[in-house]
Structure 1
Amino acid sequence: MSNRTTKLSAAALAISLAFPATAQDAPTADTVVATVNGTEITLGHMLVTRAGLPEQYSQLPSTVLWEGVMDQLIQQSVLANSDGITETAGIKLALENQRRAMLASEAITAIAANAADDAAVQAAYDANFANVEQEGQEFDASHILVETEDEAKAIAEELAGGADFVTLAKEKSTGPSGPNGGALGWFGPGMMVEPFQKAVEAMQPGDISEPVETQFGWHVIRLNDTRAKTAPGLDEVRDQITEQLQKEAVEAAINDLVKKADITRIAPEDIDTSVIENLDLVGN
């Protein structure tokens, strides 16, 4: 071989090593990653096992996950094929049930995915929120929470004498809203415990209540303002609407499929239903 040919061959080898592997060399789900007594374990087996691990495993490095999943599959393989282990009727039936359940889950996922696009969510929002008159009032209130009625009465007297509500709340309220001057923000009917809610609903903006007792202690309440209840924004209820649309779509699809299917079934009165407890029938 000439010196020129040798140089060309070396150059060609260097060039080939400089390029990444082709797509044909990339691993696929069918790539065999281990064999156990001649039985193949594929990358697909590992991927499905990895997908079933708890969320906290996603924080592990891929090398640790790889070794852990590989060890699990190898151990399962040697155990499954160890002496005295056979595929019983119960195992076969369980596998059939698992396959059925997984396919049904895929069907539900597909139905749900097509049930709540932007147009459907907007239409449901308009029908159930935006175009519906909201009933009732919302309240903006502040309170000072103390442990005893005497403390609450003393605070009410100070306020009647002109003391600043926000200042007293910051100084004396034991509730989590104390540092904010007792401000509770806006709330609607039924959002507060009953004695507190009733007191607020009987007040006018600017009023300060007599001491009100709840399970949390004694409250002195100031009603800051009221307003007609308004519809929540779309983003506030988007998840709620999406969930409802998906639920309705799945239920409708199931009912339709069951209605169209050719189904026969044994009625409970035609069989001793206690047989459902007899696991001996499947060899368990």
Structure 2
Amino acid sequence: MFDRKADLRAYLPTSNLRPARLPRTLRRGGTLISGLATASLVVTLAMAAPGKAVHHHHLHTAAVPQDAQASAAPAQDTSQDTSPVVARMGNLELHADQTQKLIANLNASDRAAVDKNPDLLARVLRGLVADRFVLAQALAKHWDQQPAVAAALERMRENAIMQSYVQAAAAPPPDYPNEADLAEAYEANKSALMAPKQYEVAQIFVAAKTGADTSAETQARNKILAIARELRTPGADFAAIAKTESQAKATAANGGIIGWLSEAQLRPDIKPHILALAPGAISAPIRLDDGWQILKLVDVHPPRQLDLSEVHDVLKQKMRQQRAQDLQRAWLADLVKANPISLDQSELIKLVGATGAATR
């Protein structure tokens, strides 16, 4: 089911509190809802490949060059790790202890999504394993010692040190914000702290990839039309039919129920169909790039005011982030004021001229 509290980041006001954006929308495999904001390097490259429709359950290998797929990554020294092996790719093994550390490094919203959805965790792990596999190959070829890569790593190291130092030097007090601060911020932003209209949606999905052969396409079309006819018979039970006929396994077991979704969480190609339904109504078969959908709008909840208890933790996090940013700007301004920066304009002009001549 949709967890209202877990999605509160989307409802915070967009002025001073600067809420996190909604995750990008998953577009494959029968899913209708938004997915993780975190993507592995290999997954990101696969999604960016021009002119190719990439399915999520294949993303972890789609962008790996052919020679890399054929070769094995150097074996890792895991002799000190006695925890169970969770995943393998070539000679690379990912143990339970390593997996827990990787999951701990996900941002809070992604961790919450993974905790609720084991299938999502499997997709995340595939991407992480692929990343580690590519990293192992690069390190085996001493890629980190290339001048450009070494320079970039040094810049990242310096930035990490500086950011950590400034954050520690200008951190908000541990007790900020207190309950009075939170109550005041809640009242000031109350009009923006609204849960949007919610749609409880159910689906029956029949897989049929775009470009499939004529026989497969005809078979899928006949199946969805037969399901649509069955749904039109008096007393037809959508949930029972979804359990036996839907090929979206994650929702079929629950009678096709996806859960409560806001309009922003709906796939763009699905949204108009759901918005056109009255509560309890069922759509005609809808052809999408991954297959056929029949949708049911189970129920609708109107927008509502969120209570302070519902936004308490997210509001506190946003207030601390904002205070930290304000303190860091003030700290840096005081630092520059106490240590003025001076530039030798004549030498700077010479340097710019020499740089320009070198690039011509």
TM-score computed with the length of structure 1 as normaliser: 0.53
Measured in 2, the distance between the counterparts of 1:218 and 1:165 equals 16
Match of 2:170 in 1: 108
Query: What SS does the corresponding residue of 1:194 show, helix, strand or coil?
Result: coil
Does 1:142 find its partner at 2:202?
A: yes
Confirm or deny: 8 A CA contact 1:140 1:187 kept in the other structure: yes
Question: Once the 2 structures are TM-superposed, how far is the Cα of residue 186 of structure 1 from its aligned partner?
Answer: 1.4
Q: How does 1:58-207 map to 2 (within 5 A)?
A: 104-109=166-171, 111=172, 113-128=174-189, 130-132=190-192, 134=194, 137-147=197-207, 148-162=220-234, 163-175=236-248, 176-207=250-281
Amino acid at match of 1:165: F
Measured in 2, the distance between the counterparts of 1:165 and 1:174 equals 14
Measured in 2, the distance between the counterparts of 1:273 and 1:237 equals 52
Query: What SS does the corresponding residue of 1:181 show, helix, strand or coil?
Result: coil
Query: What SS does the corresponding residue of 1:155 show, helix, strand or coil?
Result: helix
Confirm or deny: 8 A CA contact 2:177 2:319 kept in the other structure: yes
Query: What SS does the corresponding residue of 1:186 show, helix, strand or coil?
Result: strand
**Percent pairwise identity:** 22
Measured in 2, the distance between the counterparts of 1:241 and 1:190 equals 21
Query: What SS does the corresponding residue of 1:141 show, helix, strand or coil?
Result: strand
Measured in 2, the distance between the counterparts of 1:135 and 1:267 equals 53
Match of 1:241 in 2: 315
Match of 1:6 in 2: none
Measured in 2, the distance between the counterparts of 1:112 and 1:152 equals 60
Root-mean-square deviation over aligned CA pairs:
3.7
Question: Once the 2 structures are TM-superposed, how far is the Cα of residue 265 of structure 1 from its aligned partner?
Answer: 1.9
Confirm or deny: 8 A CA contact 1:193 1:214 kept in the other structure: no
Question: Once the 2 structures are TM-superposed, how far is the Cα of residue 165 of structure 1 from its aligned partner?
Answer: 0.6
Measured in 2, the distance between the counterparts of 1:144 and 1:99 equals 52
Confirm or deny: 8 A CA contact 1:195 1:212 kept in the other structure: no
Measured in 2, the distance between the counterparts of 1:177 and 1:268 equals 67
TM-score computed with the length of structure 2 as normaliser: 0.43
Distance 1:104 1:216, change over 3 A: same
Measured in 1, the distance between the counterparts of 2:160 and 2:229 equals 70
* Structure (1 or 2) with the larger CA radius of gyration: 1
Listed one character per residue, the Cα deviations across residues 78-119 of structure 1 (whole Å, up to 9, x for unaligned) are xxxxxxxxxxxxxxxxxxx9998765343233x152432222
Does 1:264 find its partner at 2:333?
A: no
Report runs of 4+ in structure 1 exceeding 6 Å deviation. 97-102
Distance 1:145 1:103, change over 3 A: closer
Does 1:222 find its partner at 2:296?
A: yes
Confirm or deny: 8 A CA contact 1:142 1:181 kept in the other structure: yes
Amino acid at match of 1:144: I
Confirm or deny: 8 A CA contact 1:138 1:186 kept in the other structure: yes
Query: What SS does the corresponding residue of 1:213 show, helix, strand or coil?
Result: strand
Choose between structure 1 and 2 for higher RCO, CA contacts under 8 A separated by at least 6 residues.
2
Match of 1:212 in 2: 286
Amino acid at match of 2:244: E
Confirm or deny: 8 A CA contact 1:149 1:211 kept in the other structure: no
Measured in 2, the distance between the counterparts of 1:245 and 1:106 equals 17
Distance 1:207 1:113, change over 3 A: same
| Number of residue pairs aligned between Structure 1 and Structure 2 | 182
Question: Once the 2 structures are TM-superposed, how far is the Cα of residue 164 of structure 1 from its aligned partner?
Answer: 1.2
Q: Which blocks of at least 5 consecutive residues in structure 2 are unaligned?
A: 1-96, 99-158, 208-219, 355-360
User: Which stretch of structure 1 is more off in the superposition, 253-262 or 178-187?
Assistant: 253-262
Distance 1:189 1:150, change over 3 A: same
Distance 1:100 1:142, change over 3 A: closer
